[in-house]
Structures are given as C-alpha cells and as structure tokens.
Structure 1
Amino acid sequence: MSVLDREAIIAPVTFNRWLIPPAALAIHLSIGQAYAFSVFKNPLAEHFGMGEGGDVAIGWIFSLAIAMLGISSAIGGTWVERAGPRKSMVVAGSFWVVGFFVATAGIAMDQLWLVYLGYGVIGGIGLGIGYISPVSTLMKWFPDRPGLATGLAIMGFGGGALIASPASNALMVFFGGGPDSMADGIMQTFLTLAVLYLVVIAMGAYVIRLPHPDWKPKGYDPEKAASKPLQTTGSVSANQALKTPQFWFLWVALFTNVTAGIGILESASPMIQSSFGITAVAAGGYVGLLSLTNMGGRFIWSTVSDYIGRKNIYILYLGVGAGLYFVLASFGSQSIALFVVSTLIILSFYGGGFSTVPAYLKDLFGVYQVGAIHGRLLTAWSAAGVAGPLLVNSIVESSRSGGGEGFELYRVSLFIMAGILVVGLAGNLLIRPVAEKHFSDSMMVASKREEDREAASEAAVAHQQTAAGGAGAVHTTVAIVLAVVVVGSLLYGLGETAVRAAALFVG
C-alpha cells in the first residue's frame, strides 16, 4: 500500500478534524493564484509586444486555464473519489507547478504558445484536479456543517489571489528593476511562484486525512439533517445525477453566476485603470480587494446557507447580483467608490456561488459520489471561463477600435451580465427535490462503506506503528507549521491589500 493511496490516509476515530482545513487551504491558496491573473495581463502584453491591443490574446491564457479546469474536473472527478485526496493533491500540484515552468520557458523564449500550453493547458489540469480534491474530504469531516466545510475549502481559492496579487506585483517590480519595467521581471516571478507553490502543496498533501467510517461529530444527528429543505434521503451516483433536471438547472445557475463574475474579474486591473486613470499599483490593490471579498464571500455566504438554505442563497446571488450589474452599468462611471463597492459585492456573490455548490449538490444527491458530481458540474465553470472573458474582451476591443475609451469600453458588457444573471435566477427557481427513482442501490453504497471500514482497520494498525516511531508527532508538527504558513500568508495579503487599496481613494 503506497503512502499516496486512499487507504493509507484513513484517520483514527480520535483524530482532530481541525487539522484538516489548513491542508485543504494549502492547495486552494496555491491554485487560487489564477484569480490574480489580471495583474499579469499588461506586463505579458508588453513583453510580447502587443500593447493595449492584446486583451483577447492574453485573455485566452486565463480562459484556457478555466476551460481545462472544468474539463479535467469532469473527467477526473470519479478518479479523485477513488484515489483519495493525497494522491489527487500530489497529481494536481505536479501539473500546476510544471505548468508554471513551461510558461516560464515560453516567456524566456518569447513563445506565447508555450504560455498557453503551460499556464493554460497543463496548469489548468492542475486547477481542476486540485480544486475538487479537498472539497468532498472536508464535507466528510464536517457533515454537521457542509456549508462551513465547503466555505473553508473553497475560501482558499478566492484567497489565493489576495496573496498572489500583491506578491506578484512586488516580485515583478523587484526582478524588473522598478514599477515601470514590470514586464522585465515576469519570467523570474513565474519561476519563483512555482517553487513556493510546490512546497506548500507538498505540505498539504502530507497533512490531509480521511475520516474513519465509524467517526461522526459529537452531537451530530443524520436524521435531523435529512429534514432540511431539498435534503435527499438517498444517494445518487455521478452518472445518474446527469439524468436529473436538478443537475442541469444548477448547471445553468452556476454558469450564469460565473460568467457574470469572471468576465469582470479577469479584466479587473485594466478596467479600473482605463476607467479612472489609477496606477498599476493601486489597481493591484483593487484586485486584492476583489480577492478579499471573493474569499470572504465563499466562507460567509456558504455558512449562511446552512441556516437559510442553498436555494435561497442562490436567489440572493443571482437576483441582487443582476440589480447591482444594472446599477454599475448605469452609474458606475460617476464615482470610483460606487464602482468599487458594487464590484466587491458582486464578487462576494461570485465566490459564494462556488462554495455553496458542493453543499447544494450534497443536499440534492447525497454524499456518496458528491466529489465526482461536483467535478462534472464544474464544466459550467469551464464554459463560463471562456464565455465571460471572451465577451468582455471582444466588446472592449470593438469599442476601442470605434474610438471608445475609459468606462465606455465596458458599459455594454455590464448590461449583458445583468441579463445573464436573470436567466440563472430562473434556473435556480426551478430546482426541486430529486425523485427517488434516481437513488443508487443501497447495497452498493453499504458495500463501499464496508470497504472503507476494512481499510480503516488496516490503517489503524499502521497508525499505531508510526505513532510508536514518532511519525504521529511529525504529522501534527507539519500540520501546525502549515497552519502558521496559511494564516501568515493571508495576513500578508490582507495587509498589502489594505495599503494598496488606500491608493484608490487618496493621492
């Protein structure tokens, strides 16, 4: 039995579940760097000699990464469930880091196609596998609070940009020799980030564990949990979930929420610079603020959904979000404060949509193959990752060629996003409980649990042997160190974001 195997990481019944969130955050904070990609857009365009006309060409790097995220998570979701979180995190980290190395080579050789291949395709595969690998694991550790669990996991993906945005700016300034020559330092920045992410993901993979099949939280009552709205009393397989209307209605809701948010997020830095004439450093602070609300929304809104329900929280995301986009398109150019506050709220809904989806899926289809179902639903993200940026960037280039400038480059896109969210709202309102005819054979589910129980017995012997040799203490130490790294990184991101964001409103 390999140390990477699922059977090798089943924890004893007495294991402290609060050691697991830092491991999940480790990979999500790393791959969440993708949300800070907008800070690379102008430097990459300058490096490849494109200037302001490179919005679409450079934007395709990000779109490819998100497209591959959805494809790889859909294809690999069932494998992730079978392989377990440790092996999945190692594979995801390998793709993510190798993608950075290939992109670095592309920058060094002035070959944009290598950046597409590295960051977009190879790194995108790492994004997809890494995104889903810790989510179902945390839901298994927190069955009493699935919204909190998914918020803890997916919060890190939003928080990754909170750290990466100021860090990437600082690295490009350092390696480039100043704020006016950031393009000269982008190659070294990519290389440095790759090494840092390699270390952090490796630590997270070492710490991650699966709960013992006989373990449950103190005071947890599964029958009481099953009485909540839309809560299924059975288990639905990943293949069967695709045959339900609930899956596709939720697909539409997620697609529209992501399309509306990602089109703005991907263009955040150049949008605010061209609309209000602020510096690249201040724009980096704005991207950091977006990352903060993206991260905070993932935790806050998913936790709120434990109390008001997933369907109601999606009504908030899509209904209020549509109204905010309309206000932003109509009046956003009149005040930078209105622009910033509106987009921050929108991005909190965007982040909340992601973190609520796994718990929404658990409510509808059960926990049996929720990771695999989640992976297939993320094809909505894949499609939106292409549609959103392509829509915004195409309209921007068309407006620019027609003589448009500033906020007018984006106004039409914002109105379109409002309409898209209304479509998603309709899809969410149509969701009803899953019919019993879609439930999986209870004997098959019970057999899977018995296999886990047998593996847990073998793992218990191994845990006793390793604990006698001091490995248990090493695991706890690494978990604590990782927690310090995670918290310290987030505090750095918060501090840098606060300083840079101040430049939005003061001279």
Structure 2
Amino acid sequence: MWRNTLTFFPRSDRLHRILILLSSILISFCLGGVYAWSAFVPALREEFGLTSAQCQTVFGVTIAVFTIAMVPAGRWLGRISPRWIAGTGGLTLGLGYLLASFGSGSFISLLLGVGVVGGIGIGLAYVCPIAVCLRWFPHHRGLITGLTVCGFGGGGIGLSWLIGSLQAAGVPTMHIFRWVGLLITLLVVPASLILVMPRHPSSTDNHGKSFPKNLSQILRSRAFAAPAVGMFSGTFAGLMVIGNLREIGLAANVAPEFAMLAISLFAVGNGTGRIIWGGMVDRWGKLCIPASLLVLAGAITLNAVSNGGAASFLIGSLICGFGFGACFVVYAAQISERFGVEQFASVYPLIFLLYGLSGILGPVVGGMVFDATNSFVPALMIAVAVAVTGALIAWRLDSRQCAVAIAKSLSATA
C-alpha cells in the first residue's frame, strides 16, 4: 500500500524518525501562520477600508476550505506519496499569498488568494505530517501527534513577529503578503521531501484491536460523535477568539502593544498545549475531551471580564491558546485510538470538517456581534456557552470511559 519510500536515507531507523519528526514540525509551523491573520486586520481596515466582518470572513473561509481540502488529501495518501501531497500544498499556500498581494487590498483578492487558494494548500499539506508520524511512532500517539502539530500553533508566533517587524519597518502591507508567500514556499516544499512512510509498518500499529471498516458505521457510532462534538465546540470558541484577539483587547481598553502580545501568547499556549495535551491523552484518553473544553471556557470567561486589565487579558489569552491547542492533538489521537492508524487519514479529515464549519461561524459571528453591539463580551459569552455545552455532551457520550479514567487516575495517586 505504501510504496512511497526514499532510498537515500541513512540506515539508522532512529535518524529516520528524527528527520521525519523535525520536517513535520517545520511544515506544521509554516501552515500555522494562518493564526497570525489578526495581525493583518488593523492595517486592512485602516489602509483598505475592509470591515471587521469582511476580515473575519477571509479567515473563516481559509479554515473552511482548509478542512474541505483535507478530505481528498487523506484519501490520496493511500495511493500518492506524502512528499508530493505536502509539497503541492506548500506551493499552493505560497501561491495564495502571492496572488492576494497583487490585489491592492481588495476583499475579493484576499478571499480568493488567502481564503480559497491558501486554504486548499493548508488542507493538502496538513494531514501528511500527522499520518506519517503516527506510522513511525505507533506507541506514543498522543505525544507524537502533539509534537507534530505543535508547530502549527507556534507558526502564529513566528509569522505575527515577522508581520509586526515588517510593519514597523514601513513595509507596505501587500508586500508583506508577498514575502510571506515566498517564505512559506521555500520552507515547506524542501521539508516535504523528507516525508515517507516506513517500508514495514509496525504490526502493533493498532495494538491488536479490531475496528469498524464501514464508513457509514463509523459515522453513526458514539465513538465518532464524541470527538465530532468536541471538535466543533472547541474550535468554534477558540476561532472566535483568535480571529478577533487583537480587536478584543483594543475594545477592552488594553494597550495596543499588549493586545498584539496576546496573539503571541495565544500561539505559545497553543503550541505548548498540543505537546502537554498529547502526553495527557496518552494517559487519560477520552477524559481529555470534556476537560479541554472546560479549560477553554474558563479562559474565554477571563478574557471577557478583563476590562482594561492587561495581566488578566494576557493570562486569559495564554490559557485560551492552551485549551484550543487540545483540539488538534486530543481528537487526532482519539481517532487513531478509536478507529486505528490504517483508517486515520480517511476518518480524521471528516472530524476536521467540523473545524471548517466552526471556522466560518466562529470568527464571523464574533465580528458580526461586535459590529452590532460595539462589544465583544456578548460574543465571548456565546463561545463559553458552546464550549460548556460541548463538554457536557462529550461527557455523556463517553461517560463510562471517562469515569474509568478518573478512577485509574485517583488510584494511581493514592
């Protein structure tokens, strides 16, 4: 099935794994630059007259197209080398930013360039590093998934810093889009050449378990419903925040420099959260779904009540990123655990479609509520309600397994 191996690797299997993991992190880092979108928003509004809703529509469409493109990408992984899928994705993402840079800041050019073309590029590349690393590290699914995708959260830090530095140097906004597109292409395409599947997949990939093979049976199962509800709830709440984070801070009378810093802190929490939640899901499994949603709800509440308080706003942003980061490791690890490594690339993109739905609804609802009320507090309270509701539903669906996880944890600490 997997005929996509390279022959120029050294013989050391350990070196294979290290190179693949590092290249996967680099690819995820570049793709994660999408979370720095809010750093562009003030300039797009001031220089080109875009509304808050238009800016967030571009962001939302990027996420939606990204998740839709993941579905065919996951299916192609059974027939096409992950090198070519990921490399094509990086090239397409870079092209999207380049196309947008020639549109003079118009809403349509940004929507088509960053939203549609860029979203397709992210979707093609995103699933490849995760699927490859799960094959190379079958015994530590949560931790390895967390390490693989932590770059996606960290990408927001790197790109927001780059955008801020170029803005401070007086570089025109459209030129910044151009540089971002070139940089992404030059980093992702070479790193993609390292992505290969092992020649002899481990016989213990699925830990001796049997899994349903019929896709319709999978979609109707409680095992699928719990991560599906959790993914939508967590990403709806998190994307509403990150898509408007700088604007939320400014509306709450937080100083502009702290509002910008909040983007980086969210990204720090997002990146470190993916690693930490990865270790936790290996230990506590299904319990991490409701737990991560409640952490996210608490952090958003803290952001909502920080009226002018920079410290509480920054802490809330950090914890919010930590809770949001769980969405991209807990559910990936759980899909692999519930349905097996063999079916991961086909099933996980279906969960990710709900991330796309929340990508449209979360940021756009946040922008529209602000435009209507001149306050982000009502929108943030909606996000909290969605996260808490998702936690309760996920607990109900997995209640027996969650109770077992709690009992094991208590007995281990006794």
Q: Which residue of 2 aligns with 1:202?
A: 189
TM-score after normalising by structure 2? 0.89
Q: Which residue of 2 aligns with 1:410?
A: 376
Q: Are 1:58 and 2:55 matched, yes or no?
A: yes
CA gap of 1:370–1:237, structure 2 versus 1, over 3 A, is farther
Shift of 1:247: 1.6
1:22 aligned partner, one-letter code: L
CA gap of 1:214–1:250, structure 2 versus 1, over 3 A, is closer
Q: Which residue of 1 aligns with 2:268?
A: 292
Q: Are 1:303 and 2:279 matched, yes or no?
A: yes
Contact 2:30 2:187 in 1 (8 A): yes
Q: Which residue of 1 aligns with 2:48?
A: 48
CA distance in 2, matches of 1:245, 1:75: 24
1:386 aligned partner, one-letter code: I
Q: Which residue of 1 aligns with 2:356?
A: 382
**Unmatched runs of 5 consecutive residues or more in structure 1:** 177-184, 227-231, 401-408, 434-507
Give CA deviations for 1:210-254 in whole Å, capped at 9, x if unaligned. Answer: 1121557xxxx668x56xxxxx53363555422323223321111
Q: Which residue of 1 aligns with 2:412?
A: none
CA gap of 1:214–1:353, structure 2 versus 1, over 3 A, is closer
Q: Are 1:427 and 2:393 matched, yes or no?
A: yes
Aligned partner of residue 136 in structure 1, secondary structure = helix
Contact 1:88 1:133 in 2 (8 A): yes
Shift of 1:323: 3.6
**Unmatched runs of 5 consecutive residues or more in structure 2:** 400-414
Q: Which residue of 2 aligns with 1:491?
A: none
CA gap of 1:201–1:374, structure 2 versus 1, over 3 A, is same
The higher radius of gyration belongs to 1
2:89 aligned partner, one-letter code: A
Contact 1:13 1:212 in 2 (8 A): no
Matches within 5 A, 1:251-400: 251-279=228-256, 281-309=257-285, 311-329=286-304, 331-333=305-307, 335-400=309-374
Q: Are 1:15 and 2:2 matched, yes or no?
A: no
CA gap of 1:236–1:427, structure 2 versus 1, over 3 A, is farther
CA gap of 1:133–1:222, structure 2 versus 1, over 3 A, is closer
Q: How many residues align?
A: 395
Q: Which residue of 2 aligns with 1:249?
A: 226
Q: Which residue of 1 aligns with 2:88?
A: 91
Contact 2:252 2:307 in 1 (8 A): yes
Aligned partner of residue 233 in structure 1, secondary structure = coil
Between the aligned residues of both structures, percent identity stands at 25
The more displaced of 27-36 and 281-290 is 281-290
Q: Are 1:155 and 2:150 matched, yes or no?
A: yes
CA gap of 1:315–1:189, structure 2 versus 1, over 3 A, is same
Give CA deviations for 1:404-441 in whole Å, capped at 9, x if unaligned. Answer: xxxxx1111122112101221133224459xxxxxxxx
Contact 2:103 2:110 in 1 (8 A): yes
Contact 1:151 1:355 in 2 (8 A): yes
CA gap of 1:236–1:68, structure 2 versus 1, over 3 A, is same
Aligned partner of residue 370 in structure 2, secondary structure = helix
CA distance in 2, matches of 1:295, 1:287: 12
CA distance in 1, matches of 2:310, 2:214: 48
Shift of 1:290: 0.9
1:28 aligned partner, one-letter code: S
Q: Which residue of 2 aligns with 1:451?
A: none
Q: Which residue of 1 aligns with 2:409?
A: none
Contact 1:6 1:85 in 2 (8 A): no
Contact 1:75 1:376 in 2 (8 A): no
Shift of 1:390: 1.3
The more displaced of 54-63 and 199-208 is 199-208
CA gap of 1:214–1:387, structure 2 versus 1, over 3 A, is closer
CA distance in 2, matches of 1:305, 1:298: 10
CA distance in 2, matches of 1:32, 1:328: 23
CA distance in 2, matches of 1:194, 1:186: 13
CA distance in 2, matches of 1:83, 1:18: 23
Shift of 1:58: 1.3
Give CA deviations for 1:166-213 in whole Å, capped at 9, x if unaligned. Answer: 11111122243xxxxxxxx11111111111111111221122221121
Contact 2:252 2:306 in 1 (8 A): no
Aligned partner of residue 252 in structure 2, secondary structure = helix
Shift of 1:327: 4.7
Q: Which residue of 2 aligns with 1:486?
A: none
Contact 2:54 2:107 in 1 (8 A): no
Calculate the aligned-residue CA RMSD, in Å: 2.2
Q: Are 1:76 and 2:73 matched, yes or no?
A: yes
1:304 aligned partner, one-letter code: M
Contact 2:98 2:182 in 1 (8 A): no
Contact 1:13 1:211 in 2 (8 A): no
CA distance in 1, matches of 2:272, 2:351: 23
Contact 1:275 1:333 in 2 (8 A): yes
Q: Which residue of 1 aligns with 2:119?
A: 124
1:193 aligned partner, one-letter code: V
CA distance in 1, matches of 2:214, 2:76: 14
CA distance in 2, matches of 1:83, 1:428: 35
The more displaced of 351-360 and 238-247 is 238-247
CA distance in 1, matches of 2:259, 2:294: 28
Shift of 1:334: 6.1
1:419 aligned partner, one-letter code: A
Matches within 5 A, 1:144-223: 144-176=139-171, 185-213=172-200
CA gap of 1:172–1:320, structure 2 versus 1, over 3 A, is closer
Shift of 1:355: 1.3
Aligned partner of residue 200 in structure 2, secondary structure = coil
TM-score after normalising by structure 1? 0.74
CA distance in 2, matches of 1:396, 1:68: 25
CA distance in 2, matches of 1:12, 1:370: 28
